[in-house]
Amino acid sequence: MKKIFLIVALIATVLIKPSFAQSNQTQALLTSYYDIKNALVNSDATVAASKAAEFSKALSSVDMKAMPTADMNAFMGFQDKLAFDAKHISESKDIAHQREHFANFSSNLFKLAKVIKPTKALVYYDYCPMKKSYWLSDNSAIKNPYFGNQMLTCGSIKETLK
């Protein structure tokens, strides 16, 4: 009986571990994204560049083998797009240029997040009508990364991922 229990416990551990690893990895990506967004909200191009470099490192270190097949396929479809925009944000000190790439970056990350569910927390998909662009947020309060203090609360929540 003890052997059967140990075997069942071992199998459960092996099956649960990839899901746990995936959630930690994807949560790290989402946290890095939020750091970039917050830097843009504060109109801090230097911090945005630094946080985008961190995102790039986290993105390249994701262990896709730990993901379920459907999530891995979705991730592979967005990995290069996310890397492209994160690289441009990290290499620029021009806030306007960073914000241009942030729009595509946000759109691609949202599409990926809808498939892989990177966190158990709510993810808000916010919209800026002046820029006609979206961003992700971990908070329901609108803080617009496209205009910073000029139009900090301009925008609305368009969708919420649960």
For residue 82, give Cα distances in angstroms to 15, 37, 59, 75, 156. 29, 14, 8, 10, 24
Mean local confidence (pLDDT), 107-133: 95
In a domain, 82, yes or no: yes
Q: For tokens 């729009």, what's the residue?
A: 103
In a domain, 68, yes or no: yes
For residue 13, give Cα distances in angstroms to 6, 25, 115. 10, 18, 24
In a domain, 80, yes or no: yes
Give 1's pLDDT tier (boundaries 50, 70, 90): low
- Each residue's pLDDT tens digit, 44-79: 999 999 999 999 999 999 998 888 999 999 999 999
In a domain, 61, yes or no: yes
Is the Cβ–Cβ distance between 85 and 105 less than 8 Å? yes
Is the Cβ–Cβ distance between 130 and 146 less than 8 Å? yes
Task: For residue 108, give its domain range.
Answer: 2-118
